């Protein structure tokens, strides 16, 4: 049994294929930044709780009053924009898929489509989004994922997200 209480960036050993490597759980923000190219203010996931390679990821986004988008969306009635929630789901999916590439610093996962997006309830400062992404289709050059975002166990947003893998 593996001790999952430690948080560490674990890179594949020299000569190890990405298929032989699974990151240590939970993944901290530092671990996520070692995989995703996003940075503040557009890095939208704070922690990864679960990762099943090529299948599923569960991530957390802590929604705070300090988020830049709350300044204009909406003054005196802050609501997290739906497109930002979908982007957070895409970043969780990108984190999952980029773990498959040992040369991920040379790759980007590009958003190519959003289908069946539904917004069920507002997300406000103080909420914690639990983002669950399941892979529907995975190829070495593209993917399609079902994303869901929950607040307190209640569905806030869902969408099917398509992406492509590109060289930087």
Q: Which are the catalytic amino acids?
A: 73
* Pairwise CA distance, residues 60 & 51, whole Å: 12
155, containing H or E segment = strand 154-167
The alpha carbon of residue 16 and the mean position of all alpha carbons in its chain are separated, in whole angstroms, by: 25
Nearest to 127, CA basis, from 70, 49, 56, 53: 70
33, containing H or E segment = helix 29-33
Residue 14 DSSP SS3: coil
């Amino acid at each position: 049994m593996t001790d999952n209480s430690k948080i560490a960036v674990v890179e594949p050993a020299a000569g190890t294929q990405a298929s032989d490597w699974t990151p240590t759980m939970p993944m901290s923000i530092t671990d996520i930044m070692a995989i995703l190219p996003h940075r503040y203010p557009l890095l939208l996931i704070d922690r990864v709780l679960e990762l099943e390679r090529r299948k599923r990821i569960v991530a957390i986004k802590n929604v705070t009053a300090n988020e830049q988008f709350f300044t204009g969306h909406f003054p005196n009635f802050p609501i997290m924009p739906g497109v930002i929630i979908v982007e957070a789901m895409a970043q969780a999916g990108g984190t999952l898929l980029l773990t498959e590439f040992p040369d991920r610093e040379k790759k980007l996962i590009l958003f190519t489509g959003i289908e069946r997006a539904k917004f069920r309830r507002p997300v406000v400062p103080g909420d914690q989004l639990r983002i669950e992404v399941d892979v529907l289709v995975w190829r070495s050059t593209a993917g399609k994922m079902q994303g869901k975002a929950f607040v307190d166990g209640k569905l806030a947003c869902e969408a099917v997200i398509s992406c492509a893998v590109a060289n930087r």
